[in-house]
Structure 1
Amino acid sequence: MKRYQTTTRKTATKLQVDAHSRGNHYTIDEPKNAGGANTGMNPVELELSTLGASLEATAAKLAPEKNFHYDQLTIKLEGDMDPRGFMGDPDIRNGFQEIRVAMTFKTAASQDACQQFVEAVKQESPILDNLTNGISIVVDGVVLD
């Protein structure tokens, strides 16, 4: 089993967070109207982007295997989240209520062939699997530094 790791650390700038993986650095932040400095995507935008990136990578991997040819794939993702859940309302889920994905192909393939390919991509995307089926998350505890 392969293990992936990321480290995050809050910066001194409002709600900004630095994330590091494999020597890559990402800035995560909230928009100004939410108290951030607007220096990067916020966590839920990043979640949508991660799903889109996973679907894109999965499609690129599967296309040769499925003999499906396309010139370009554009994925538009939208998620609905009621902020009252995040603000503590116990009757509202603290997360997305729904995520919608629209996949637009530039291809000579038929609509049916595209739909069949999308079904294969949906079955293989690890991030879609995590979001659809859930995953066990273990918080190991608190360490003082």
Structure 2
Amino acid sequence: MLKTVSVESVMQDGFAVAARIGEHQLMIDQPVTAKGTGLGPTPLQMLLFAVGGCIATIGRIAAFQQKIALHGMRITVEGDYDPDALMGKATTERAGFQQIRILAEIDADLSVEQKQRFLDEVCARCPLHDNLLTGTQVAHQLVSS
């Protein structure tokens, strides 16, 4: 059975965008050097953070299920993109990340091979990793106010 997750984002002054998600108020923005107010991370940074956070969360769940004493994980997520595309400048590149790299350090009493198998399983179970890997269909439409 599918479950729907919904987030409403509202444009604020300048480049700031706010969202109330459950009990949390989140803000994304652009740095002051890019004419933003620096009230939060950029959307690109937030996406990469969400991927790392999802992997860490699924790691905790999988470790609990497998009775692995997971002391911690440090996940670095890097992405390469062409800023000309999002600025509307002529480029042959698409606007999105060309590559996303996930670098994970796993603190657990496991061999290197066991850690790799664990990471492979965690990434296979992570919804965000799956969305990025398989090119999830995205639809957009205008809603009248």
Q: Distance in 2 between matches of 1:42 and 1:15?
A: 9
Question: Which one is further off, 88-97 or 120-129?
Answer: 88-97
8 Å contact kept, 2:68–2:108: no
Match of 1:138 in 2: 139
Question: Which one is further off, 22-31 or 85-94?
Answer: 85-94
Q: Distance in 2 between matches of 1:23 and 1:121?
A: 27
Shift of 1:110: 0.7
- Report matched runs for 1:1-145 at 5 Å: 1-12=2-13, 14-88=14-88, 89-144=90-145
* TM-score under structure 1 length normalisation: 0.92
8 Å contact kept, 1:66–1:117: no
Residues 31-67 of structure 1: CA deviation (Å, up to 9, x unaligned): 1122211110110000000000110111111112233
Residues 53-99 of structure 1: CA deviation (Å, up to 9, x unaligned): 11011111111223332211110111111111212234111011111
Q: Distance in 2 between matches of 1:91 and 1:140?
A: 26
Question: Which one is further off, 60-69 or 26-35?
Answer: 60-69
Q: Distance in 2 between matches of 1:143 and 1:33?
A: 34
Identity, % of aligned positions: 26
Aligned residues: 143
Provide the alpha-carbon RMSD of the alignment: 1.3
**Structure 1, unaligned stretches of length 5 or more?**
none
8 Å contact kept, 1:69–1:109: no
Corresponding letter in the other structure for 1:118: L
Q: Distance in 2 between matches of 1:11 and 1:5?
A: 19
8 Å contact kept, 1:79–1:98: yes
8 Å contact kept, 2:29–2:40: yes
Q: Per the alignment, in what secondary structure is the counterpart of residue 101 of structure 2? A: strand
Q: Distance in 1 between matches of 2:124 and 2:109?
A: 23
8 Å contact kept, 1:63–1:69: yes
